[in-house]
Structure 1
Amino acid sequence: MSRKVLITGGTGLIGTRLAEMLIDSGYEVALLSREPAKSSHFRSFRWDPSGGGIDPLAVPYADYIVNLAGSSVSDGKWTDERKKEIMTSRLGGLALLRRELAKPGHHVRAVISASAIGVYGDAGDALVTEETPPGVPTDDFLADVAHQWELAAEPIATELGIRLVIPRIGVVLSTEGGALPQMARPVKLGAGAALGSGKQYMSWIHLDDICRLFIAMLEDEHWRGTYNAVAPNPVTNADFTKVLAEVLHRPLLLPKVPAFGLKLALGEMSDIVLASQRVSAAKVLARGFRFEFPELSGALESFYEKE
């Protein structure tokens, strides 16, 4: 049985590691990319989510599609233009995939389409599950983006009858990118501090665990619908900073970084670090998935032990 996976957004943090782990697990991998790299050791198909163009051979190649495409929410301040790009990069890609999947002549068995725990908005210290309604309509941009992203994916299941899994991804921990290097930098310099009140919850997941989870979702057709892709032990920002300092063997000297200072520096983007999301992993655990890194200290040690 052929096991070909087409990844959109395959050059990002998750896509890069996922492609490696899929190859190691015996899959074939191809990437959908706006600028297919000549040097990549993966087959590449060209697409243009904003212009609506896609290589007609791309979708017929695949047994499975993993959709990670979307402009990063943490690159640069959220100007109106930037916000538009963050939204349209997600919706445009899904519209294209939906259009191609509606055509005959492909054999796609399942689509995993990424979302984010931002969909819950700022939920304080309430434990949120997949049943918790999205935090919209509000003036919460991240909640709106994730909600629209999920709505754009749904017709793949409801209209086309293809198995669809929507992982709501938490803060992905890796030293290759994402939030962790930014958070570790001041701590390494001995200037680490909790952000804002420090009481806000962070729901995180180790990069290898999110990739293992995606592979489980591909392989077992019982996975359908939305799942929180987070480790089972969310922590407050203050605890995260404390554990990070311990793992890095650095003191925590400073008081908290005030929320108003972050708002000044980052604008609306400060929502990424100031919003509180305490997200349940119970549904994923009930499916039988086992985390390699269920605890924050073990996850952080896996990156920094050698230092």
Structure 2
Amino acid sequence: MTVLITGATGLIGKEIVKQCHAEGINVHYLTTSKSKLTADSNYKGFYWNPNNNEIDHNCFDGVSAIINMVGASISKRWTDSYKTILLESRTKTAQLLQDTIKNHNYKIDQVVSASAIGIYPTSLVNYYDETTTEISDTFLGKVVHEWEAAVDGFKDLGCKVAKIRIGLVLAKDGGALKEIVKPIKFGAGAAFGSGKQWQSWIHIKDLASLFVFALQNNFEGIYNGVAPNPVSNKELTKASAKVLRRPLILPNIPKFVMKLVLGEMHILLFESQRVCSKKVESEGFDFKYVNLKPALEDLLG
């Protein structure tokens, strides 16, 4: 089997490639950087430039499925121009892939696409599963809603479409955890705001496994990509400090301070989404990291 992966050279994409290869799945990938092109038998790169509607359509040769991970990082200051990039890096890319499949009459059976739990409204009491239809009125909610709508366009081409709503990804070499533990390492760690906001997290290895599992088991519809046991921001901060053997002596960091530092992006630290993983578990997916402490020990130990 050969799968086309967008965003294959990113943090999560690299782990998905590794797990595809472990399962004997060949990978074609798209990159905007010609220096990242390789031509191994099981890992072949193709150039694209979505801003110019440019794509090497040979990327679809022999491909029966797509794993769609492409999208600009949300962890940069949300200026008006960057907001446009955040949205279009998700919607325009989906459109370009769909147009190319259509124009060259490629047969793609399945698309497994990244999405995000940021679509759910912030709440300290709700427990969100995939049947929730309410959408967050934040900028992030809007982005995810339009992203999912763009991905649904693959259905018109006869593809089965699965959308994995990803939570807080815990990884060793990048992403949110690296930033969370930075102040803790210097003895300046603290929870944000009340610290009660829910953080629905997932270990990067489990997330990559979930994408490959979704591919192999023909998932269709919406699935939450989060571990079974969400924690509060305070619990996450405390557990990280404990694993790193660092004290937490500072008071919680007020919202207005982070708004000054990060601008509108500060909502990422204060949004609360407690999200349910039961649907993927009922499909037979087994999480390796069910609880936070072992996950942190694996990544920070």
- TM-score interval for Structure 1 and Structure 2 normalised by the shorter chain: over 0.9
2:153 alignment partner in structure 1? 155
Residue deviations 1:140-179 (CA, integer Å, cap 9, x gap)? 110100000000111212x122111100000110011110
Uncovered stretches (5+) of structure 1, i.e. residues with no partner: none
Structure 1: distance between partners of 2:37 and 2:98: 29
Q: Distance in 1 between matches of 2:186 and 2:110?
A: 45
- Superposition RMSD on alpha carbons, in Å? 1.4
SS of corresponding position for 2:51 = coil
Find the residue that maps to 2:52 and give its secondary structure.
coil
1: CA distance, partners of 2:167 / 2:54: 31
Q: Which amino acid aligns with 2:79?
A: T
Residue 57 (structure 1) aligns with: 58
Tell me what 1:199 maps to: 196
Q: Structure 1, residues 49-79: CA drift from partner, whole Å, max 9, x if none?
A: 122111121123422111111110102x111
Q: Provide Cα deviations, 1:193-241, integer angstroms capped at 9, x if missing partner.
A: 00121010001000000010011111012x1110000001010000000
More helix by share: 2
Which of 275, 283, 287 is matched with 2:283 structurally? 287
2:267 aligned residue: 271
Alignment partner of 1:260 out of 256, 262, 265: 256
Q: Is the 8 A contact 1:120 1:135 kept in 2?
A: yes
Q: TM-score under structure 1 normalisation? A: 0.94
1:11 matched to 2:12? The reply is no
Shift of 1:105: 4.2
Task: Give runs of aligned pairs for residues 19-168 of structure 1, distance below 5 A.
Answer: 19-38=17-36, 40=38, 42-75=43-76, 77-103=77-103, 105-136=105-136, 138=137, 140-157=138-155, 159-168=156-165
Q: Secondary structure at the match of 1:5?
A: strand
TM-score in terms of structure 2 length: 0.95
- Given residue 53 of structure 1, which amino acid in structure 2 is its aligned partner? E
Contact 1:197–1:259 (Cα < 8 Å) also in 2:
no
How many correspondences in the alignment?
A: 298
Separation (CA, whole Å) in 2 of partners of 1:39 and 1:53: 16
Q: Structure 2 unaligned segments of length 5 or more: list them.
A: none
Q: Which amino acid aligns with 1:64?
A: A
Runs of 4+ residues deviating >6 angstroms:
none
Residue type of the alignment partner of 2:142: D
> CA, structure 1 residues 87+69, in 2 after alignment: closer, same or farther (shift >3 Å)?
same
Distance 1:70 1:294 in 2: 27
Equivalent position amino acid for 1:10 in 2: A
**Closer, same or farther: CA 38–185 of 1 in aligned 2, 3 Å:** closer
User: Which of 219, 223, 229 is residue 225 of structure 2 equivalent to?
Assistant: 229
Does the Cα contact within 8 Å between 2:119 and 2:142 map onto a contact in 1? yes
| 2:37–2:45 CA contact under 8 A, matched in 1 | no
1:248-289 CA-partner distances (Å, limit 9, x unpaired): 111111110111101110111011111001001111111111
Q: Could you tell me the percent identity over the aligned residues?
A: 41
**Which residue identity is paired with 2:24?**
G
Q: CA deviation at 1:129?
A: 0.9
Larger displacement relative to structure 2 (45-54 or 169-178): 45-54
Secondary structure in structure 1 of the residue aligned to 2:222: strand
User: C-alpha separation between the residues in 2 aligned to 1:120 and 1:179?
Assistant: 19
> What is the CA-CA distance between 1:39 and the residue it aligns to?
6.4
Is 1:219 the counterpart of 2:216? The answer is yes
